[in-house]
Amino acid sequence: MPEISTKIAPGRSPKDGRIAVRASREERELIAQASHASATTVSDFVLRASIARAEDVLAERREFRLPPDRWEAFVAMLDRPAVAKPQLRRLLTEPSVLDR
């Protein structure tokens, strides 16, 4: 009988918990198609997508602290007048290659 490997990939911890999610048939089919297109399992696809979204949500809510002198410099940079950027203006106002 072949030996079954129980090694865990470096940097990954064992999965010892379970998350259950209710979804409609259409939602399950969509997720299954996306996981197939990503060459991964539905479970791994949902887990990776959930982790990525959780990281985004938490990153938006993180606070940062600065010493008073660095805070004043930061606020001064935010308050300074905007500088015209002709290349940026052109990029945002001219039609792109996708619009042609």
Render the burial of 52-75: b for 16+ CB within 10 Å, e for the rest. Answer: eeeeeeeeeeeeeeeeeeeeeeee
Mean pLDDT, the chain, whole residue set: 87
Which helix (H) or strand (E) is 63 found in, with range? Answer: none
Q: How much is the pTM?
A: 0.52
pLDDT at 22 over 80: yes
| Model confidence band, residue 99 (pLDDT cutoffs 50, 70, 90) | confident
Cα 64–Cα 66–Cα 71 angle in degrees, nearest 5:
115
Other CB atoms within 10 Å distance of the CB of residue 28: 13
pLDDT in the model for residue 11? 66
